[in-house]
């Protein structure tokens, strides 16, 4: 938010024009995210670690879809005659999922990949937040983790209505297709035989 305030002030001063696209937690096309560092870190052993309560909905953005949205936003603002505000904010709706919904999806994958026996269920765990809070007094990274804990405790979703009015329907890969592609990029599963649409 501090960066947004700086961009807003720069726009008011006439120094720069900015468009901010806010999105939820990322998954797909990369490592170092909550998805690979927590959710699927132990998936081959039949375990999912979720940062919050399993019944709390959180906004998620599949990065390839978000990238396509960025391109469409840039295309719109490059068109002649389009009214451009010096500073504007849009929300990328993406997916809104609870930890329980992620567990259901990953349970299916774990059984398909034979990481779980037919009569076993995906085990779930949460982060040791009390330990993280304690460690945050010493380690900067843990301090940053502790600062975003509230995001996993407060149900939230993003409305993409304003963005859709600008670019049309938001790019939206079917969730199972996005999950399959993400797990493939992480080296956990093979590529879909018929491409992404096989999981749509």
Say yes or no to pLDDT of 128 above 50: yes
- pTM of this structure: 0.86
Say yes or no to pLDDT of 56 above 70: yes
Q: Which residues pair with 21 in a beta bridge?
A: 90
How does residue 197 score in pLDDT terms, banded at 50, 70 and 90? Answer: very low
Residue spans of the domains in the chain: they are 2-7+17-199
Higher pLDDT, residue 69 or 194: 69
Question: What is the DSSP annotation of 146-174?
Answer: HHTGGGGTS------HHHHHHHSSPP---
CA distance 158 to 12: 26
Class level of CATH domain 2-7+17-199: alpha beta
Tens-digit pLDDT profile for residues 59-79:
999 999 999 999 999 998 888
Higher pLDDT, residue 143 or 61: 61
CA distance 163 to 2: 22
Burial of 123 (0-12, 13-18, 19+ CB in 10 A): middle
Q: What is the average pLDDT value for the chain, to the nearest integer?
A: 87
User: Averaged over 180-190, what is the pLDDT?
Assistant: 94
Tens-digit pLDDT profile for residues 87-127:
889 999 999 999 999 999 999 999 999 999 999 999 999 88
CA distances from 121 to 99, 106, 180 (A): 15, 10, 19
For 143, how many CA atoms within 13 A lie in the half-sphere containing its CB?
A: 4
User: Averaged over 153-175, what is the pLDDT?
Assistant: 94
How does residue 85 score in pLDDT terms, banded at 50, 70 and 90? Answer: confident
User: Averaged over 28-49, what is the pLDDT?
Assistant: 93
Q: Coil, strand, or helix at residue 110?
A: helix
Question: Nearest 10 degrees: CA dihedral of 162, 164, 165, 167?
Answer: 120
How does residue 196 score in pLDDT terms, banded at 50, 70 and 90? Answer: very low
How does residue 150 score in pLDDT terms, banded at 50, 70 and 90? Answer: confident
């Amino acid at each position: 938010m501090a960066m947004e305030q700086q961009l807003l002030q720069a726009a008011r001063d006439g120094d720069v024009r900015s468009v901010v696209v806010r999105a939820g937690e990322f998954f797909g096309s990369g490592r170092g995210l909550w998805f690979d560092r927590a959710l699927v870190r132990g998936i081959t052993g039949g375990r999912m670690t979720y940062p919050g309560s399993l019944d709390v909905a959180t906004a998620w953005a599949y990065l390839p879809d978000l990238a396509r949205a960025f391109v469409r936003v840039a295309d719109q603002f490059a068109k002649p005659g389009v009214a451009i505000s010096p500073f504007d904010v849009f929300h990328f709706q993406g997916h809104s999922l609870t930890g329980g919904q992620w567990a259901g999806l990953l349970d299916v994958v774990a059984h398909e990949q034979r990481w779980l026996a037919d009569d076993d269920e995906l085990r779930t765990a949460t982060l040791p937040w009390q330990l993280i809070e304690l460690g945050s007094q010493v380690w900067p990274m843990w301090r940053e983790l502790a600062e975003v804990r509230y995001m996993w405790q407060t149900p939230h979703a993003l409305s993409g209505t304003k963005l859709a009015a600008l670019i049309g329907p938001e790019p939206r890969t079917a969730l199972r297709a996005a999950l399959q592609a993400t797990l493939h990029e992480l080296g956990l599963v093979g590529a879909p035989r018929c491409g992404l649409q096989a999981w749509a």
